[in-house]
């Protein structure tokens, strides 16, 4: 296995059905079913929103610092990577009454105890608006040393990056790195806004950037990394099948693309599974896969 870094991974998206059941029992949370296979059988998605509905629903089992510790520890043990920059969604927990100190406490301790170097990137839920994002950032500043950057995720279309200018400006002022999901379901205009308005240093997904040649030129010239998630794109129907994925074309354009798992518990695999699918289903060469793995270290913030 070639060494690689994971740069697009939502820690809540590593919540495997087995852990959902274990945590539900531990915390006495009612579930529609305690059958692991029945939980997994629900993971058929038609778009981003249909995934997000289940993703947020399952988070109900995450209640204590120990839960967040166990979640992150389980991921780090099975990630198969040498370095990880990990997203988390504090608002998804705050709105359920789980305080920020519980989330930071558990995740930070897990990263500290891990053999793999890892860092946290705090994401704003773009479908909850810019005011709440700013509140969360201010509430997180006492934990400033525990995260390296901010990101923007959740439902993309209708929630353009430009709405988040102020909170990203504040983050930049705090010396935080900046990334945003853009061009997953949204068009190239969302990627332009992420670059021009939010001043992001990496674009998460960004596959639809390929629809705009001048945007492709900008990304190439500035060597802006794109964190692509092939199995996620197939499962959320951002692409019809892996054979139709434009990842090889992105490489051919000279873009700094990387391969990542996004939400591996939901999309059928961790980073190595994504590489294997690219080899087996898309026929990508070992040289191309080597390039993608090297890119992941060049694109990392904290490596």
Contact code string over 243-262 relative to Zn ion, x by CB under 5 A: -------------------x
State the binding string over 78-117 for ligand HPA (x if CB under 6 A, else -): ----------------------------------------
Residue in this structure with the two tokens 């967040």, named with its chain if needed: 68
Question: Where does the chain show beta strands of DSSP type E?
Answer: 5-6, 83-88, 118-125, 149-153, 177-182, 202-205, 226-228, 257-259
Residue 274's binding partner out of Zn ion, ligand HPA, none, with CB under 5 to 8 Å set by partner kind: none
Site string for ligand HPA, 154-193 (x = CB under 6 A): x--------------------------x--x---------
Residue 181 counted as an annotated binding residue: yes
Q: Which is nearer to ligand HPA, 83 or 181 (CB)?
A: 181
Binding mask of the shown chain, residues 25 to 54, with x at each position contacting ligand HPA by CB under 6 A: -----------------------x------
Partner whose binding site includes residue 154, from Zn ion, ligand HPA, none (CB under 5 to 8 Å by kind): ligand HPA
Closest to ligand HPA by CB, 67 vs 204, is 204
Residue 153 found at the interface with ligand HPA (CB under 6 A): yes
Residue 54 zone, left/alpha/beta (φ > 0; ψ -120 to 50; rest)? alpha
Are the beta carbons of 106 and 23 closer than 8 angstroms?
no
- Give the H/E segment covering residue 267: helix 264-267
Count the residues of the shown chain that bind ligand HPA, applying the rule CB under 6 A: 11
Q: Any residues with CB less than 8 A from the CB of 157 and at least 6 apart, and which?
A: 185, 186
Would you say 301 and 177 are in contact if contact means Cβ atoms under 8 Å apart? yes
Kindly state whether residue 156 participates in binding Zn ion, applying the rule CB under 5 A: no
Side-chain-facing half-sphere of 260: CA atoms under 13 Å: 33
Instruction: Indicate which residue of 6, 156, 184, 193 is catalytic.
Output: 184
Q: Scanning residues 232 to 261, which ones bind ligand HPA (CB under 6 A)?
A: 232
List the strands of the sheet with 118-125, edge to edge. 5-6, 83-88, 118-125, 149-153, 177-182, 202-205, 226-228, 257-259
CA dihedral 19, 90, 191, 85 (to 10 degrees): -60
CB 225 within 8 A of CB 202: yes
202 makes contact with ligand HPA (CB under 6 A): no
Query: Interface residues with Zn ion (CB under 5 A)?
Result: 262
Residues taking part in catalysis = 184
Query: Interface residues with ligand HPA (CB under 6 A)?
Result: 10, 13, 48, 55, 153-154, 181, 184, 232, 262-263
């Amino acid at each position: 296995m070639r060494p690689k870094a994971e740069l697009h991974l939502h820690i809540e998206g590593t919540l495997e059905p087995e852990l959902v059941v274990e945590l539900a029992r531990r915390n006495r949370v009612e579930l529609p079913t305690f059958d692991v296979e029945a939980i997994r059988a629900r993971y058929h998605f038609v778009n981003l929103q249909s995934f997000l509905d289940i993703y947020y629903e399952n988070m109900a089992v995450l209640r204590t610092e120990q839960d967040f510790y166990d979640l992150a520890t389980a991921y780090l043990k099975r990630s198969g990577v040498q370095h990880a920059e990990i997203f988390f969604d504090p608002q998804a927990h705050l709105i359920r009454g789980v305080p920020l100190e519980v989330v930071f406490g558990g995740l930070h301790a897990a990263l500290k105890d891990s053999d793999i170097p890892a860092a946290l990137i705090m994401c704003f839920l773009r479908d909850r608006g810019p005011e709440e994002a700013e509140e969360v950032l201010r509430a997180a500043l006492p934990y400033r040393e525990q995260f390296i950057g901010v990101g923007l995720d959740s439902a993309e279309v209708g929630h353009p990056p430009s709405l988040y200018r102020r909170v990203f400006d504040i983050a930049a002022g705090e010396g935080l790195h900046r990334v945003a999901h853009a061009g997953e379901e949204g068009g190239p205009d969302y990627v332009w806004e992420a670059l021009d308005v939010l001043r992001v240093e990496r674009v998460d997904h960004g596959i639809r950037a390929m629809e705009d040649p001048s945007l492709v030129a900008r990304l190439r010239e500035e060597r802006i990394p794109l964190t692509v998630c092939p199995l996620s794109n197939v499962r959320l129907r951002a692409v019809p099948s892996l054979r139709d994925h434009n990842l090889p074309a992105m490489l051919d354009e000279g873009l700094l693309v990387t391969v990542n798992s996004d939400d591996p518990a939901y999309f059928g695999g961790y980073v190595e599974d994504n590489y294997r699918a690219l080899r087996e289903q898309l026929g990508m060469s070992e040289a191309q896969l080597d390039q993608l793995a090297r890119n992941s270290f060049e694109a990392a913030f904290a490596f």
